[in-house]
Amino acid sequence: MSLASELHPADLAVAKARDPLAPVRAWLWLTLGLVLLMITIGGATRLTGSGLSITEWKPISGALPPLSNADWLAEFERYRQIPQYELLNKGMTLGEFQFIYWWEWSHRQLGRLIGLVYLAGFLWFAIRRTLSLRATALLFAVGLLLGLQGAIGWIMVASGLQPGMIAVAPVKLTLHLVFASLFLMSLAAMAVAMTPPRATEKPATSGLRAGAWIVLALTLFQIALGGLVAGSRAGLNYNTWPLMDGQWVLPAEQLFAKTPFIENFVDNIPLVQFNHRLGAYLLVIVAILHAVFASRALPGSSFTKRARALAALFTGQAALGIATLLLAVPLWAGLAHQAYAMVVLTMATIHLARATGARVGARAGA
C-alpha cells in the first residue's frame, strides 16, 4: 500500500504544502522547457544551413558575438575557409552570413544557459542538502550527460569542417539529437520520481508496464531515424504519400544502392526516408494497441487516460510528418514536427515513469 493511500486528504494537502521537493521539480521542469526550446532552435539551425557558420568552439570567450565591423569581417573570413562556403555558398554576402551566424550563435547561447541553469540548481540543492544521496547522485549523472551532449555537439560541427563536406555527418547529427533526447527524458523521469504519488493512481500490470517501455523505446528510435532523415536531407525527396515515386516499396537496387551495405541505412536517401515512414506506422499501431489493452485492463484509470492521450499524440505527429513531407519541409513545418516529437517523447517518458512508480526523495529531515 502506498503512503498516499494511507493519508487522509487533509493530511495530503498539508504534506504537499510542506513538500521540500517542490523547488527541485520546478527547477527540473524549467530546465526541460529550455531543452525543448534548444532542440527547436537546433532544428532551425539545421534547416537554415547555419550549423557551420561558427567554425571554432570556445566555450567561454565564444559567448560574445562579433562587436564591430572588423570582428564580423574576421568571422566571415574564417567561414570562407571551410568547404561549405566554397562548395555551396560561394559569393555569399556579409549580411547573408550574419543571418546564419545568429541562428548558430543563439543555439550555442541557449546551450550555455541550460548548462548554467542546471549547474546552479544542482549546486544550490546539493549545498543545502535538500536531496537524498541517491537523488543527488542521479542528478549528477544527468549533469554528466549534459556535458557529454555539449562535446558531441562540437564533434558534430567538426565533422562538417572536413574537406569535401558541405554539412555535418548524418550519424553525428543523429547522435547529437539522441543525446539531447536522453537528457530530456532524464529530466522528465527525475521530476516525476520526485512527485508525490496520486491516491487515485492504480498500479499497472507488468504487461502494461512492458507496453509503456516499448512505446518509449520506439519513440526514441523513431527520433533517431528522423535525425538520419534530417542529416541526409531525405525529406526533400519523394514528396508524395503514401507512395514513394509511385510505388509502395522501391526496388532493392535503389534501397541498397551503396556499399558498404550498412551505409544505406545512414545516408542512402530512399532507404532512410522509407525507414522513417515504416517507423511512424509501427509507432502509431503500437501506441493504439497499448491504449486498447490499457482500456481493457484498467478502465477509467490515469494510466489508461495517458495511454489514450499518447495514441492521439502519435497519430497527430504522424499526420504532421506527412504534411511536412508533402510540403517539402518548409521551415515552420520542419520545426513543428521536431518540437512535437520532443513533446511526445516527454509525455511517453512521464507515462512510463508514473507506471513504474520509481521514487527518489528528499534527505531525511529536510
Residue carrying the nine cell digits 511512424: 280
> What pLDDT digit, counting tens, does each position of 115-168 carry?
999 999 999 999 999 999 999 999 999 999 999 998 999 899 999 989 988 889
Q: Are residues 185 and 209 in the same domain?
A: no
| CB contact set of 116 (below 8 Å; sequence gap of 6+) | none
User: Among 283, 284, 282, 309, which Cα is nearest to 295's?
Assistant: 309
Q: Are residues 213 and 164 in the same domain?
A: no
Domain limits for position 34? 18-196
> What pLDDT digit, counting tens, does each position of 14-34 carry?
444 578 899 999 999 999 999
Asked which of 176, 196, 216 is the last residue of a domain, the reply is 196
Q: Are residues 208 and 329 in the same domain?
A: yes
Q: What is the pTM of this model?
A: 0.90
Q: Are residues 183 and 205 in the same domain?
A: no
Q: What average pLDDT does this structure show over 192-221? A: 90
Q: Are residues 131 and 274 in the same domain?
A: no
Please state the domain count of the chain: 2
pLDDT band at 4 (very low <50, low <70, confident <90, very high): very low
Q: Are residues 137 and 242 in the same domain?
A: no
Q: Are residues 231 and 321 in the same domain?
A: yes
> What pLDDT digit, counting tens, does each position of 279-314 carry?
999 999 999 999 999 999 999 899 999 999 999 999
Residue 366 lies in a domain: no
Q: Which three cell numbers stand for residue 225?
A: 531515424
Q: Are residues 53 and 155 in the same domain?
A: yes
Residue 334 lies in a domain: yes
Q: Are residues 344 and 322 in the same domain?
A: yes
Question: Residue 2 pLDDT more than 50?
Answer: no
Asked which of 163, 196, 229 is the last residue of a domain, the reply is 196
Residue 7 lies in a domain: no
> What pLDDT digit, counting tens, does each position of 34-69 carry?
999 999 999 999 999 999 999 988 877 678 899 999
On whether the CB atoms of residues 49 and 329 are closer than 8 A, the answer is no
Q: Are residues 239 and 319 in the same domain?
A: yes
Asked which of 178, 196, 214 is the last residue of a domain, the reply is 196
Predicted pLDDT of residue 6: 44
Provide the Cα torsion 306, 310, 311, 316; round to 10°: 140
> What pLDDT digit, counting tens, does each position of 84-112 carry?
999 999 999 999 999 999 999 999 999 99
Question: Residue 12 pLDDT more than 50?
Answer: no
Q: Are residues 168 and 229 in the same domain?
A: no
Question: Residue 340 pLDDT more than 70?
Answer: yes
Q: Are residues 191 and 222 in the same domain?
A: no
Residue 141 lies in a domain: yes
